[in-house]
Structure 1
Amino acid sequence: MSNPMRKAMFTALLVGTLLVAQAAHAAPVPDFTMPLLDGKSIALKDFRGKPVLINFFHSK
């Protein structure tokens, strides 16, 4: 493997390790409930013990 490729793989491994370590020490998110399109609602507590990705976005 070439030297630049080793550096890239090492950097990716290091960043991934740091992200996992940071996520393990993150503060808990307060529970919230939100409506679904079918009129039902869903709460964050419904996903307890499972990984959850929350994407905040804004459009103009």
Structure 2
Amino acid sequence: MQLEAADESERERILGPHKRILKWIEDTKNAIEPYFDEIHSIMPVAREKIKELKAQASKP
């Protein structure tokens, strides 16, 4: 689930070819609703923070 914090393109590159893993993630998500969404609601904030840190790291 940590890949939720990655850019969409990175997540797709890593998980795209692995349909069984994507199905497992979806099944897990459905099995623990609504808790999954509640716990993972922080992901957009984390994703933005990671983008900021990457931008800072790439500056000379």
TM-score (norm 1): 0.31
Q: Which has the higher helix share?
A: 2
Which has the higher Rg, Structure 1 or Structure 2?
1
Higher RCO structure (Cα 8 Å, ≥6 apart): 2
